[in-house]
Amino acid sequence: MSRTKVAVIGSGNIGTDLMLKVMRWGEHVEMAAMAGIDPASEGLARARRLGVPTTADGARGLLALPGFEDVRIVFDATSAAAHRANARLLAPHGVRMVDLTPAALGPFVVPAVNLEQHLDAPDVNMVTCGGQATIPVVAAIRGVTAVPYAEIVASIASKSAGPGTRANIDEFTETTAAAIESVGGAARGKAVIVLNPAEPPLVMRDTVLCLVADPDHDLITAAVERMVAEVAAYVPGYRLKQPVQITALDQDVTTLAGDARVTHRVGVFLEVEGAAQYLPAYAGNLDIMTSAALRVAERIAARGAQVAA
């Protein structure tokens, strides 16, 4: 069975890692091209060494590459502002876009939670690294009980935060908070990102705090553990750092939960270690984004092949 041709826009760390994942683990997709804007970038040089057609003229250059007409899926690993321009440029050409920036033009997709709902969307958004790591847990808790308030803190190694990540800090918090609500199911969401300068660099760590009322401890713990296993199926370095904690509240939190009654706080502590194929192992924040994006493209391609057959 022929595989679906895909292209990557963005020759930085995320784009390069994604290219290598497609080439190594792509079952239904295969690399057709990589586009960047820096002719001297290491990502474009690596792509050329691997025989992948390249352009340093961004999305416009991608359109001009021989064989672009066969490309069906384009990953955008640039920035929120760049994706808005790229989406406008590529929209008339009928390609599907998997957006790894916080631009949020298309529906939010977290594979373990809502992948099947958006397989026909022309442009799907991968939220953020923090969103990919924490929203599955919020959704798991919401599957057991109402979540009036959910707050996540994503701590990543400063060395793993490139120019794109740093330029998108505001979009990160806004996009992640919105997805905690729309995908995770919390009535109100908040997101915080911490760039940890520790040396040696620490792997990504995420904290999920949910306010709930009269929780069933066993049901919540089981739901969270099942969801962690589901995410780990496509992000092997994703794991619980310690058992799920459920504690009774001893202070007034009505300003956070609004008018909802809450009695307990559920705390989930996660760790995300990268696969270390291209990026260092501590860059789990980047690895979870590329792994989730590949998962989405694989499912879109597989579904397309089923429809065609």
Token digits of residue 120: 């026909």
**Structure confidence at residue 139 (pLDDT):** 98
Residues 60 and 17 both lie in one domain: yes
**Structure confidence at residue 68 (pLDDT):** 97
Instruction: Look at the chain and report how many structural domains it folds into.
Output: 2
- 237 annotated among ligand-binding-site residues: no
**Structure confidence at residue 40 (pLDDT):** 96
Token digits of residue 264: 């307990």
Q: How confident is the model at residue 50 (pLDDT cuts 50, 70, 90)?
A: very high
Please determine, for residue 309, whether its predicted confidence score (pLDDT) is greater than 60: no
Residues 205 and 110 both lie in one domain: no
Question: For 98-156, how does the pLDDT look when each residue is reduced to its tens digit (9 = 90+)?
Answer: 999 988 999 999 999 999 999 999 999 999 999 999 999 999 999 999 999 999 999 99
What is the domain-level CATH number for residue 67? Answer: 3.40.50.720
What does 19-37 look like in DSSP terms, one character per residue?
HHHHHHH-SSEEEEEEE-S
**Among 277, 251, 279, 278, residue whose Cα is nearest residue 265:** 251
Torsional sign, CA 132, 133, 136, 139:
negative
Cα separation, 269 vs 267, whole angstroms: 7
Residues 51 and 102 both lie in one domain: yes
- 14 annotated among ligand-binding-site residues: yes
Residues 104 and 61 both lie in one domain: yes
Three-class DSSP category at 246: strand
- 86 annotated among ligand-binding-site residues: no
- Residue numbers of the domain that contains 86: 4-126+288-308
State the CB neighbour count (10 A cutoff) for residue 52.
19
Q: Who's near 12: CB < 8 A, 6+ residues apart?
A: 36, 41, 43, 77, 162, 163, 164
Please determine, for residue 157, whether its predicted confidence score (pLDDT) is greater than 80: yes
The predicted model gives 173-186 an average pLDDT of 96
Residues 296 and 265 both lie in one domain: no
Residues 43 and 116 both lie in one domain: yes
**Structure confidence at residue 165 (pLDDT):** 76
Please determine, for residue 164, whether its predicted confidence score (pLDDT) is greater than 90: no
**Among 149, 127, 122, residue whose Cα is nearest residue 138:** 149
- 125 annotated among ligand-binding-site residues: no
The predicted model gives 23-49 an average pLDDT of 97
Cα separation, 1 vs 19, whole angstroms: 21
Maximum alpha-carbon separation in the chain:
65
Residues 144 and 106 both lie in one domain: no
Question: For 226-242, how does the pLDDT look when each residue is reduced to its tens digit (9 = 90+)?
Answer: 999 999 999 999 999 99
Mean of pLDDT over the chain: 94
What is the domain-level CATH number for residue 179? Answer: 3.30.360.10
The predicted model gives 67-77 an average pLDDT of 97
Residues 206 and 66 both lie in one domain: no
Residues 268 and 135 both lie in one domain: yes
- Mean pLDDT lowest among 80-84, 134-138, 160-164: 160-164
Residues 120 and 226 both lie in one domain: no
Residues 117 and 215 both lie in one domain: no
Beta bridge partners of 205: 155, 271
Q: How confident is the model at residue 250 (pLDDT cuts 50, 70, 90)?
A: confident
Please determine, for residue 199, whether its predicted confidence score (pLDDT) is greater than 60: yes
- 79 annotated among ligand-binding-site residues: no
**Structure confidence at residue 218 (pLDDT):** 98
**Structure confidence at residue 308 (pLDDT):** 67
Q: What percent of the chain has pLDDT over 90?
A: 87
**Is 129 considered catalytic here?**
yes
Cα separation, 10 vs 117, whole angstroms: 27
Please determine, for residue 292, whether its predicted confidence score (pLDDT) is greater than 70: yes
Contact 150, 210 (CB under 8 A): yes
Please determine, for residue 163, whether its predicted confidence score (pLDDT) is greater than 80: no
Q: How confident is the model at residue 24 (pLDDT cuts 50, 70, 90)?
A: very high
Residues 189 and 175 both lie in one domain: yes
Query: Which residue stretches of 1-94 are H helix?
Result: 13-25, 42-49, 58-64, 80-90
- 155 annotated among ligand-binding-site residues: no
Question: For 261-281, how does the pLDDT look when each residue is reduced to its tens digit (9 = 90+)?
Answer: 899 999 999 999 999 989 999
Q: How confident is the model at residue 254 (pLDDT cuts 50, 70, 90)?
A: low
Asked if omega into 53 is within 30° of 0 (cis), the reply is: no
The predicted model gives 64-68 an average pLDDT of 97
Token digits of residue 86: 């790229």
Catalytic residue among 18, 129, 138, 266: 129
